[in-house]
Amino acid sequence: MTTNDPAADAAGPADGAVIADAEVGWPSGVPPILNQAFDAGTLYALRASVQAHASALGMPDARTDDLVIALHELAANAVRHGAGGGRVRVWKHAGELHCQVEDDGAPARGEALAPDGGAVLDSAGNAADSWPFSLGHGLWLVRLVADEISVFSGPDGTCATVVFALPGADDAPSARAC
């Protein structure tokens, strides 16, 4: 689970996912240590998986919490403003975790993320709220806690990548998943 050796986890990705990874994933052909689909009903399970992986890699509790909320917020954004679901892939590379959150397709309503990673505020939609409620704080929080963030939004949906350094890592050169 904690290796990025392709041979060690060859059965990891679901059928067909390897081809997709070769096209959009990074590093090409290397299986992610976590590859998990999500939708509204499985955000809890996603958070539990991310936490388990980060803890197993020796990430301090506070940074693990940061990683969990960053991936939750990106996934939640895909659920609420994107296609309603997507996939998280996490690679371990050069002392860093590279985490890619991709939604399942074109946003159902509006753009999920502006290309510069800026928040797109969709303030519509909470009939139960009795006070003004605006979105965008989640993505602001992601930018605050992640070491790096990059976002690509295209006709097929949105893909965000966040990078978190692992403990004891050198300042390794980073790469982008999208």
Partner 1 sequence: MPVSAHSQVTDLALHDHACLTFGEQEELLDLTAAFVRDGLASGSRVVVLSDAPQNGTATLGGRKLAAESAVEAGQIMLAASQDGLVGPSGFSAERAMEWMRGQLADSRRHGFAGIRVALDMSWALQPMTGIEELPTLEEEIAAAVSDAEMSVLCGYDRERFDPVTLALIAPMHSHAVTTATYHDDPVLRICRQYVPPGVRLAGELDFLAREALALALGEAIRIDGDITINMAHLTFIDAASMRMILEAAASLGPSRTVVLHCRPSVEARFAQLGADLLPHVSLVGVDDN
CB nearer to partner 1: give 30 or 34.
34
Q: How far is the CB of 31 from partner 1 (least distance, A)?
A: 28
CB nearer to partner 1: give 57 or 75.
75
CB nearer to partner 1: give 64 or 161.
64
Q: How far is the CB of 138 from partner 1 (least distance, A)?
A: 4
Please enumerate in sequence order all residues whose Cβ is within 8 A of that of 98, keeping only pairs 6 or more positions apart, or say none: 26, 90, 91, 92, 161, 162, 163, 174, 175, 177
CB nearer to partner 1: give 147 or 156.
147
Residues that bind partner 1 (CB under 8 A): 40, 43-44, 47, 61-62, 65, 68-69, 72-73, 76, 80, 126, 128-135, 137-138, 140-141, 144-145
Q: How far is the CB of 156 from partner 1 (least distance, A)?
A: 25
Please state, as a whole number, how many other Cβ atoms lie within 10 Å of the Cβ of residue 176. Answer: 13
CB nearer to partner 1: give 30 or 145.
145
- Torsions phi, psi of 157, nearest 5? 120, -165
Q: How far is the CB of 19 from partner 1 (least distance, A)?
A: 33
Q: Tokens standing for 122?
A: 């969709």
71 to 6, 11, 46, 67, 68: CA distances (angstroms): 24, 24, 9, 6, 5
3-state SS assignment for residue 91: strand
Q: Tokens standing for 141?
A: 């929080």
Q: How far is the CB of 48 from partner 1 (least distance, A)?
A: 9
